[in-house]
Structure formats: structure tokens, C-alpha cells
Chains A and B, each alone.
Chain A
């Protein structure tokens, strides 16, 4: 009990010593006596205060708060019809104080935000605000310890955008981020996973339905990744009415990366067919294919056993290329069938023979004409006809054929792409289309068997109807498996029956099996049990209106905290076996080592440190020509890797304040003036010297707390107070603009003086006396975080600062020492931020003892990151669910 008195003593001391000394107050809180108090009290949370302690609190209340109440509050918040039904006139003795905690809590909230007294009334001074708030904070913290424990209540929490994307990724094993097209999630308490603020509007619901369908399209209607078997015939080897031409001369030359490729082909100078027999292994979908080329759009038709198979195919007229043409998928029954390729729009055999005869006659004429048929001129002619892109390199079948015949190559070449002239040109002089075929293939059966499908398909379609499995049986297996994952707990009988009802309805309507499954699973992904993280509320039988959440609910809380995603199979399995709580530390460790834990970096650190804002900062390019996209990315990456290292290596969270290592690539090293780092890859760099180390010396933080053209000591100071010490200064009073927000001038001596003048304003001084010196200490870093010792006007940088309690320090190094001296305050702040994120709700008064315990646990474990996560996960707020959440009267 002595220890408690010790705390009361230190409290009294603070209140008496000095009004501005918020820093001193923090230090006092960190006195060993105070910490002992917390630990002791935490051990016996409902022990209650001693009479002596009650008396001491009553005494300080009378000297500190009572006069304030009388001057500023009682007029409206008296006994008779008090404003906002808040009466502050009931404090008559120590017992009344203890019973009035709720009223004091409300009062604290009003005072902290400077919401009361109303603007038109006489306002307390900043000092008065601070004194009274400090007393109320300390008192209500103690009171919360004595009160029955309330784990709080998380409002029905819908998945936010990252959670939706990650859940779809893990549920379906597809690379698809449908939530990127959702409206942005509003944030509360600094995070976008706040259950109270996340809402659903019709536009989002439409997108949910859409996203569910598209995600399942990708999973269920995926293409097989294992190719279907292919039977290949070289056209030269096939039987048929078309003679096998001389392989040496029947060529097409393809342009290609490695130069020219010569392809042998079967040349169809006239209508006819080639064929082969093939034993189709089973009933199924097959594709028939050829690779070919031609002149004047030759038409071909595949036949199976003499019957047309698929539509006629037009072969593109090109002498420069040889393309693959295929039928649509055809259902073919198992067994041997004759595969035949027929050329349909060429010359007849008779026409061809006649043309040959004419050519032979012409060949006996004087050499002048034949001379025109030499290779070079033939090539040019071909180029002018159909292959202008590559004259001379491309050769159509016409030349080959003509060459084979030893005759009118030039005529054939020129005919390509032109209407036939007279009787001479065309396929070997017939004037009709002709065709060259390289190969024929049968691909199939292209049936959807699990072995051929990607993981995404197999994850969903865990059963297939077959001779031994009915459609309904397969559907049951698929639907139960999927819904139990999507709902993050086993689907219950009623739900399952209704899901099967939906499936049967689809099936009865004649839907294909995959489609009936698709529709049913789409409904699962639009169900509130998927979109919301539903937790059962405490019932009448839960003592004190508090229930310990079940292990499935716990698995979800864990996975959305550490992975921003659904629980994996191991978590669900442990929950199913009732073994998750028993294995909590091991599971947390496993989860933090998983790459999915990078979600903590993106979503927790990204918002705690405001790192996400780096996407939109835009330093003035005239002032900072060095700032470019690679540098922006490098800045973000440094902080991400740094946070990740502290997390995955389970380092001390005090590294966030000061550390002797960081991560750089060449671009960032150049920016920092560090030599010896090359390349785009990031690597760990051990820091020497005093310039860098810890978050506040990282370019990302320094840039996002600067204006586009100059540093802002105010913003930097505010960032440190808000994010590292949880001492966000109250916002400026109305009508007072942020000082020189868009001031063009560099922060020179004159501006520093102006800021000091600004602080002379009594409305401003209390807060700016805290913020500005912290920022001054970081003045050696310019607005994009580069080190400097002089400003633009060659005036030496003054990086000294003096805190309100008179503590003077020099530069970032001095500032970090001051922050490290307040490490307990920092841990409390970090506990607050991370618990807010972990639970998806704002911290309330009744959470104060828990936050103290988490911070204490961190200290007991050498400030290791894992201790922070473990303490949060083991806290009542994480493990239990209360009946009442926030206090709505605030």
C-alpha cells in the first residue's frame, strides 16, 4: 500500500510544481514508485483503494478540481436540469468521488479536446486545462483499475479493403485485388480497420457482388495449366491425294529473332486432302489444328471420318508468316477416327495440269522471260505483292513451287496479293488459291480434371461428380469446405441446408455443375458471415455480461491482426481441436514469421507512422530537384524494412527511437551521404556517427512532416508527440491559422524568431512550447531528410531546443536521449496504437489498466516486439467480449 501512497505523492508533487511541466509529469510517472504501483495494482485489480488513499484523492480533488468546477462548470452542469444530463455538483466526500468516475470521465474528454466550457463563456487558461486534465487522467486510470473489468466490445466489423483482398487471395489462391475498386474505407482513431466507422452503402454492395463473381470466375473457370496431350503429324508424312513435294524446295522462310527459319511444307497446288488415323483416348473436347500459309486466302476444312468437323478455316494470305489455325473445341468420342484436312477453294487437278502444260511450253521460249524469274527479281515481286514488310527475305510457296517446277517463279510470286491476270498467274499458274501446310495436330482431350488445374481451382472444387459420386454429393463436399473457410468457422446445419437449397435450385434449373457451384459460392462471398467478422455477443448466462470468445473467433482476431487476412488451415484446425489458446505463443510466433505478417508493416506501421502519406507528398521540384520517384520509394522502403526487422528479428521496440542500423540502396545512400552502397537492392547498413538512427532520422518521416518547400518544426514536433508519446497537442483554437503554412521562405533565423513571437501569444504558447523545440532539434535534416549544416542563406543551422521544463538539448541525438528517458511513455503510446489496431476499436477509459499492463509487459521482456504482440493477444480485450462498448454520451 505504501507504493500507492508513493504514487499519490508524486501526483501531488506534479500538480504543485509547475503548470507547464507536462514533460515533468511524464517523468514523474516513470519514477520507480509509480511503476511499482502499477504492477502491484495490476496484480490485484479489484482490490480497491485504501481509506488513506481515498482521503488523499479527495484532498487533491478539492484543491485542484473543485475550484475549476465552481468557476467553469456548475452553472450549466448543476443539479437542476443539468446540460447534457451531466451533473458535476455531487462531489461532497471521498465516497462520492469514487461513485462519480463516469462523470469525471466525460469531463476529461471534454477538457482534453477543449470542447468545454463553451466559446462564449469564460475559458480556463491552458495551464488550468492541463492541471485539471492531468488530475482527471490519473484519477480515472486508477478508478478503472478498481472497477470491474470490461474487455470492451468490438462493433460488428466488416472487412476493409486490404483485408478483403488478402482474404480472397488466401481463400482462392488467386492473384486478384478486387477491393482496389471499392470505395475507400473511412478511418477512425487513426486506423482504417475501425469497426464503428466501416460501413456498407449500396455502391459497395454492388461491388461485393461483382467482386465475388469475378473472383470465383478466376478460380472455377480457370484454364488448365497442364496442357492437354497433343498428337502431331508432319504434313509431309501424311497420306492423301496431294503428292508429297520435294522437301528441299518446298520451303517458307520465316523472319525470326535468330534469323531465318526454313520450314518444310506440304504444298497444295490444287484441291485435295491429306489424312491420318488417330486413336482418340477418351470422350472429350478436342481441337484440330494446322500450321500453314497460302496465297489468295485458301480455305480448308477438317473432317473426322469424312464428316465436317468445325467451321471452314480461312488461311491468311501471307508470304512472310506462317500461322497456326485451329477449330473450335469439338466433342469427340473415344476410338480411332480418321483426321482429314481438305483444301477446298483451289484449282482442280485438271486446271493445274493444264497450267503446268502451258508453263512447260513457255519455258522453251527465249531466255529473256525466264531471266525475269531469277531469285532476286522473284523476291522483289513477292515483296510488292503480299510481303512488303520484308521484301527479299520472305518467300511464299509460289517461289518454292515454281522453283520445284523449274519454271515461272516470277509470275507466281507477282500473283500473290493481286487478282489473277489472264490465265497465267496464281497457284502454279492456275490463278487460284494455293496452300502450304507444315503440320497437323490434334489436342485433347481438354477436359477439366483436377490434375490439370491450378491450385485456385483445386482449392474450391474439392470434389467432382463421377460414376460413383453424385452431383449432390460433390456439391455438398465443395460447399461445406468452402463456406467453412469463408465463414472462418464450420458452417452450421441450418446454413448448410440453405446453401444446398440454393445449389439444388440452380441444379434443377439445368445449370452446368460448375455454374451451380459458382452461384452458390458467390452467395457465400456476399453473405454477412463472410463480409463481417461476426462474433457472438455475451448471453444472459455469461457472468458479468462478458464471454470468452471461442477459438474460431480467436483465430480470426489473430489472423486479421497479424496478417490482415483470414485464418489459415493450421489456425482453423487448432481452433477445431480446441487447442489454439493452449498454443497461443507458438502460433503467434509462427504467424509473425510468416511473410503474410508484412501486412503489419503495410497496415499498422503504414498508419501508425503515417507512412502511407508518402504516396502523396510532393516536394517542390525547384527547391529539391534531387527528389524523384526512386527516392520516394526508397524512403518508404527503408522505414518498412526497418519496422519489419524490429518485428521479425524480435528486437527491442526502443530501436524505433534509436538504432545503429537501417536499410539502404544506392539511391538512399547517396541521399544520406553514405558511401559503399551500390545497386537498387536494399541491404542492412550499420550506422556510425550521430546523424542517423531511429525513425525520426529517416527521410520518410522527415519528409512527410515537412512542407513542400521547407521544414516544419511544428509538424515534426507534433508528429513526435502524437505518434511516439501519445501526447497529441490539442488542435489550435479556431481562427488561428497554422503559422505560415505555405510560407515560401526557408526556415531561417527570421522565421525562427517569428515562431517564437507566435509562441508569445498565450493561446499558442503552451502547445508550441512543446512542439517547436522538438522540431528545432531536427533542423539538421532538410525537407526531404537530407543532412545539412547550413540553410539556403549559408546561415549555420541551429538545432538546439529547450523543452518547457528547461531541459536543453542539441540536435537529433539529444532529442533521442530525451525520448529514451521517456521510454515508458513511448511503450504506453505504442501499446495504445497497436491495441487500437489489433482490436479495431478506439481505446476507452476502462482500457487504461490494460494498456498499462501491456506496456509493463513490454518492459519486463526487454522491450521485445513479440512481448508487445503477446501481451495484446493475451489481454482480456483481445480474448473476451463484453456487452457494452463505447460510452455513447461522450
Chain B
């Protein structure tokens, strides 16, 4: 049988460009949301990160326990006070110098989810460890189309990064293993397209199926290519090739899942987000030191997170609100100052006030996220109730670069298993202990992670 050629289809429709090639990726749901209405929904894990520490004086509530009063920075979350807990006193020991000299920003972001001291290297031998989210993905990632989703806000500066550390440390939260950071997607449009496909809606189901077949053939072919290369490269390059093979296999798995289940459409009301300029509007010189779209970008990214959870396309998400040493400025928060520079406040009350404003600004978007997650009902509760979302930083006071007494919130009730609504004192407890507890509550148990010394009781 002769099929209609794609040129004919393309040109017949009068479209100038591009048959989207990821149409094969159109989600076909085989798990999750379809059953969400009848059984308690799946648990979701997320890590939201803020760089450069926070103004701890405005952050930390005065009292511990259940009856604590919200601090100024936490005010936007007032409506959800019983749905999260504040945890104070935790430490990220491996972000300290420990003999490695300067580089607290790179170390903070690198050690935050791994609990491992990053090897000081410009690149030739970067070394860290698996991050909490990726550990979880090895346990529950196979249940969803995307084992995990790595989102970001900043592509990262090019060139030199913090004090002799490769930029990889500072630009990534998620690490698949000791040597491979998992790149993040900073463009909401791209995230949306990955989640829901960017196929021409005029395309028939048959054309989509055909495209999947083509893609499968391509993956089979390149996999055999990679294997042939593998047999000829020395051990030193195996690491690089492993990244390639892992990525191909992950896409293959996703493809076969798509083929099994029904097509996943974007939830009702969801629209493809507009393009975002990560570079900042160069025409508005001086308005900010970085992206002038930030105030539009952040809510869109959080929306993508909501959509991914809602459609159960993944249960694990990481999203830094900015990367360490970010000099994003926040005119929308009446803080038109470079964040990192200002975080070295030297006790100046004006700078500390700016920091508190930036912290509050971010918290307002956290509150918005919570509202959205809470509106999506699952079983007897909402996605928020089924979530375990950590919000915090690997730095405490940006001036001192200290990595103890970290600011931290644990949001969501983990399906009712987490005892929220209190301010928990956890002085000196490795932050990795909390990550392990989150994994436990999400059904992704993992024994030890980096410098963990046990698990933190959050029940």
C-alpha cells in the first residue's frame, strides 16, 4: 500500500513548516489521573529552591510547635497554615568548605539534594552524587511518562562560575549519578510541548501512530550505533556514552507507554504558554540586571508544574526559582537590586529590607502554587494534600554563606501521613534526612543519601 507522503500532507495543509517530530510523544496515559477519582491520588514530590539564602530574621517564626505564629516572610501562606510545616535548624554539611576554600554558592546548590561534597573541579573530573529527586525516580519514576521533570528559571551564565567550580554544580539541582547532572528546561513553552506534544491537531491518529513507528525505528537504530561505539571507546568515555544510552532508553520507555495508553490531552483550560525571553529585555536597559520577564516566567513555570502533576505525567519535580549567585533583580517586589550582591548585606538595614522583600515576593508565588494545587481535587482531598514539596535554600544567611540553620518548608500532607501545621525544631539534622523521609512518605524509600544519618520524623 502506498501511503500519502508527508510532503503532500505538509504542503496540502499549506503549513510552511515542520511536521513536529515529537508528535509521537503525545501523551498516552496509562497510569494515574484516570484512576485518580476512584482511589487516593499518587504522592507527588517537589523541591523548590531559592538561591543566596534568606533574611532569617524575617523568615524564622519565633515559637516552635503547633501554635506558632507565622513570621513576616511566611504571611502569604496564612491560608494554608495547617497544610505545611516550618523546619528550622537543619544543616547541609557538605556545602561548607571542609577544606575546599571558597565556592559556597556552587557547593550550596550542588550539595543541597545530594548531601555530597562536590569535587572542586572546573570540569575535567566533576564528581557529586545522586540527588534525592533522582533517587526517588529510580523507585517511582517508571509509574509516569516522565520519571522526573527538571525545571528551571535561569539558563545560567556562561563562562566562569563560582571559585573554581564547574558551572554544572551551580546550575543543577538534579544529578542522575556522581558525574551526570540532569539538564533543566527553562522555557515554559518547551515544557508544555514536552508534556502534551506539539503535534498538529489536524493530524490524524493514523499519522501520529505512523510517526511513532518512525521514531521507534530511529531509536532502535541509534541504540545499535551507540552500542557499536561503546565497544570501541575506552573506559574514560563510557561515562559520556552512558548518558546517551540512558537518554535513548528513557525515551523508548516513554514511547512504549504512549503507545499503550490513551492520549493525554492538556487539562481543560490549559493553554500553551507564550514564549519567554530568558535573556532579559535588552531594550529596557537598567530595569533589571537579568531577566525582565521573570515576573511572568515564574508563574508560568509553576503552572507547568501544576499541569504535570494534574495530568500525572510525572510525580517528581525540581525547580530552582533562580540559581545560586543569581543577580536577578526584583522591581516587582520593590527590590530593583541584584539579588546576590544584595545578599552580602554587611548588616545594612536597607539591603536586608530588600532581601526580605525578595523572600516575600517568592513566597507569594509559593502561595499561588498552593492555591492552584489545592483547587485540583483528588479523592477526598486535593493534589496539595497528596504532595510533599520542600521549599528552601542551601544557604542560610547570604552574608555569611553558612549552611546550617537552613530556611525550610515542607508543604503538603503526603496523602495525610505528614503532621503539618507546626514549626519543627531539627537543629543539626542533615537535610538529607528530611529528603529520605519525604521519599518514604511518597513510597520511594531509599536507605541513605549522601551525608544522611537517618530519617527525620515528619509524621
A627 to B97, CA, bound (A): 40
Of A509, A621, A741, A890, chain B has the most CB atoms within 10 Å of the CB of: A741
Nearest residue (CB) in B for A842 is B124
Query: Is A217 in the interface zone, CB < 8 Å from B?
Result: yes
A855 to B161, CA, bound (A): 27
Q: Is the CB of B124 within 8 A of A188?
A: yes
Nearest residue (CB) in B for A157 is B240
A610 to B161, CA, bound (A): 12
Q: What is the distance, in angstroms, from B408's C-beta to the closest C-beta of chain A? A: 22
When the two chains form the complex, which single residue of A223, A622, A883 contacts B11, counting CB atoms closer than 8 Å? A223
B4 proximity list for chain A (CB < 8 A) = 512
A620 proximity list for chain B (CB < 8 A) = 286
Query: Is B125 in the interface zone, CB < 8 Å from A?
Result: yes
A187 to B167, CA, bound (A): 6
Q: Is the CB of B22 within 8 A of A632?
A: no
Q: What is the distance, in angstroms, from A715's C-beta to the closest C-beta of chain B? A: 12
Query: Is B248 in the interface zone, CB < 8 Å from A?
Result: yes
Q: Is the CB of A196 within 8 A of B126?
A: yes
Binary interface encoding of chain B residues 157-183 relative to chain A, with 1 for a CB under 8 A from any of its CBs, else 0: 111110110111001000010001111
A223 proximity list for chain B (CB < 8 A) = 11
Q: What is the distance, in angstroms, from B314's C-beta to the closest C-beta of chain A? A: 12
Query: Is A886 in the interface zone, CB < 8 Å from B?
Result: yes
B342 proximity list for chain A (CB < 8 A) = 742
A751 proximity list for chain B (CB < 8 A) = none
Query: Is B28 in the interface zone, CB < 8 Å from A?
Result: no
Query: Is B205 in the interface zone, CB < 8 Å from A?
Result: no
Interface hit among A64-72, A254-262, A522-530, A769-777: A522-530
A438 to B263, CA, bound (A): 49
Query: Is B289 in the interface zone, CB < 8 Å from A?
Result: yes
Interface residues of B in 385-440 (CB under 8 A from A): 399-401
A259 to B236, CA, bound (A): 73
A201 to B8, CA, bound (A): 34
Of B4, B99, B401, chain A has the most CB atoms within 10 Å of the CB of: B99
A284 to B188, CA, bound (A): 44
Query: Is B241 in the interface zone, CB < 8 Å from A?
Result: yes
Interface hit among B219-227, B299-307, B445-453: B219-227
B120 proximity list for chain A (CB < 8 A) = 113, 115
A888 proximity list for chain B (CB < 8 A) = 125
Interface hit among B40-48, B264-272, B275-283: B275-283
Query: Is A537 in the interface zone, CB < 8 Å from B?
Result: yes
Query: Is A706 in the interface zone, CB < 8 Å from B?
Result: no
Query: Is A190 in the interface zone, CB < 8 Å from B?
Result: yes
Q: What is the distance, in angstroms, from B426's C-beta to the closest C-beta of chain A? A: 25
Given contacts A199-B243, A203-B150, contact A187 B236 (CB under 8 A): no
Interface hit among A10-18, A235-243, A390-398, A726-734: A726-734
Given contacts A187-B159, A512-B6, A536-B232, contact A523 B25 (CB under 8 A): no
Q: What is the distance, in angstroms, from B2's C-beta to the closest C-beta of chain A? A: 6
A518 to B19, CA, bound (A): 12
Query: Is B374 in the interface zone, CB < 8 Å from A?
Result: no
A186 proximity list for chain B (CB < 8 A) = 123, 156, 166-168, 171, 181
Nearest residue (CB) in B for A183 is B183
Query: Is B261 in the interface zone, CB < 8 Å from A?
Result: no
Q: Is the CB of A115 within 8 A of B240?
A: no
Q: What is the distance, in angstroms, from B101's C-beta to the closest C-beta of chain A? A: 5
B19 proximity list for chain A (CB < 8 A) = 213, 217, 221
When the two chains form the complex, which single residue of A202, A210, A624, A734 contacts B22, counting CB atoms closer than 8 Å? A210
A743 to B38, CA, bound (A): 59
Binary interface encoding of chain B residues 346-367 relative to chain A, with 1 for a CB under 8 A from any of its CBs, else 0: 1000010000000000000000
A495 to B182, CA, bound (A): 30
Q: Is the CB of B99 within 8 A of A512?
A: no
B282 proximity list for chain A (CB < 8 A) = 615, 629, 632
Query: Is A28 in the interface zone, CB < 8 Å from B?
Result: no
A537 proximity list for chain B (CB < 8 A) = 232-234, 237
Binary interface encoding of chain A residues 270-302 relative to chain B, with 1 for a CB under 8 A from any of its CBs, else 0: 000000000000000000000000000000000
A502 proximity list for chain B (CB < 8 A) = 217-218, 221
A203 to B1, CA, bound (A): 36
Given contacts A190-B159, A518-B6, A615-B282, contact A201 B123 (CB under 8 A): no
Q: Is the CB of A510 within 8 A of B150?
A: no
A628 proximity list for chain B (CB < 8 A) = 285
Q: Is the CB of A197 within 8 A of B126?
A: yes
When the two chains form the complex, which single residue of B18, B248, B341 contacts A205, counting CB atoms closer than 8 Å? B248
Interface residues of B in 1-47 (CB under 8 A from A): 1-8, 10-12, 17-22, 25
Q: Is the CB of A523 within 8 A of B221?
A: yes
Q: What is the distance, in angstroms, from A503's C-beta to the closest C-beta of chain B? A: 10
Q: What is the distance, in angstroms, from B186's C-beta to the closest C-beta of chain A? A: 7
Query: Is B90 in the interface zone, CB < 8 Å from A?
Result: no
Given contacts A506-B217, A734-B101, contact A708 B251 (CB under 8 A): no
B243 proximity list for chain A (CB < 8 A) = 199-201
Binary interface encoding of chain A residues 493-529 relative to chain B, with 1 for a CB under 8 A from any of its CBs, else 0: 0110011001001100111111100110011001111
Query: Is A618 in the interface zone, CB < 8 Å from B?
Result: yes
Given contacts A223-B11, A523-B217, contact A529 B240 (CB under 8 A): no
Q: Is the CB of B217 within 8 A of A115?
A: no
Q: Is the CB of A206 within 8 A of B213?
A: no
Q: Is the CB of B247 within 8 A of A200?
A: yes
Q: What is the distance, in angstroms, from A641's C-beta to the closest C-beta of chain B? A: 20
Count A interface residues, CB 8 Å. Answer: 110
When the two chains form the complex, which single residue of B122, B163, B167, B346 contacts A737, counting CB atoms closer than 8 Å? B346
Q: Is the CB of B18 within 8 A of A214?
A: yes
Q: What is the distance, in angstroms, from A787's C-beta to the closest C-beta of chain B? A: 21
A733 to B103, CA, bound (A): 9
Given contacts A119-B99, A186-B167, contact A209 B21 (CB under 8 A): yes
When the two chains form the complex, which single residue of B2, B181, B229, B232 contacts A199, counting CB atoms closer than 8 Å? B181
A239 to B15, CA, bound (A): 36
Query: Is B288 in the interface zone, CB < 8 Å from A?
Result: yes
Query: Is B194 in the interface zone, CB < 8 Å from A?
Result: yes
Query: Is B138 in the interface zone, CB < 8 Å from A?
Result: no
A772 to B157, CA, bound (A): 25
Q: Is the CB of A532 within 8 A of B240?
A: yes
Q: Is the CB of B218 within 8 A of A526?
A: yes
Of B10, B21, B401, chain A has the most CB atoms within 10 Å of the CB of: B21
Q: Is the CB of A708 within 8 A of B218?
A: no
Query: Is A674 in the interface zone, CB < 8 Å from B?
Result: no
B214 proximity list for chain A (CB < 8 A) = 506, 519, 522
Of A155, A217, A528, chain B has the most CB atoms within 10 Å of the CB of: A528
Query: Is A864 in the interface zone, CB < 8 Å from B?
Result: no
Query: Is A880 in the interface zone, CB < 8 Å from B?
Result: no
Q: Is the CB of B166 within 8 A of A181?
A: no
Query: Is A184 in the interface zone, CB < 8 Å from B?
Result: yes
Query: Is B187 in the interface zone, CB < 8 Å from A?
Result: yes
B213 proximity list for chain A (CB < 8 A) = 509
Q: Is the CB of A188 within 8 A of B101?
A: no
Q: What is the distance, in angstroms, from B44's C-beta to the closest C-beta of chain A? A: 19
Query: Is B260 in the interface zone, CB < 8 Å from A?
Result: no
Query: Is A612 in the interface zone, CB < 8 Å from B?
Result: yes
Query: Is A671 in the interface zone, CB < 8 Å from B?
Result: no
Q: Is the CB of A615 within 8 A of B182?
A: no
A632 to B280, CA, bound (A): 14
Q: Is the CB of B285 within 8 A of A329?
A: no
Q: Is the CB of A885 within 8 A of B286?
A: no
Query: Is A158 in the interface zone, CB < 8 Å from B?
Result: yes
When the two chains form the complex, which single residue of A153, A206, A519, A621 contacts B218, counting CB atoms closer than 8 Å? A519
Query: Is B121 in the interface zone, CB < 8 Å from A?
Result: yes
Query: Is B332 in the interface zone, CB < 8 Å from A?
Result: no
Q: Is the CB of B104 within 8 A of A734?
A: yes
Q: What is the distance, in angstroms, from A739's C-beta to the closest C-beta of chain B? A: 9
Known A220-B7, A731-B101; 4 more pairs at CB < 8 Å: A117-B99, A499-B221, A509-B213, A512-B2
User: Could you show 8 A-B contacts with beta carbons less than 8 Å apart?
Assistant: A156-B240, A190-B122, A196-B125, A523-B217, A619-B286, A733-B102, A734-B401, A742-B342
Q: Which 3 A-B pairs have the closest CB atoms?
A: A188-B123, A213-B21, A512-B5
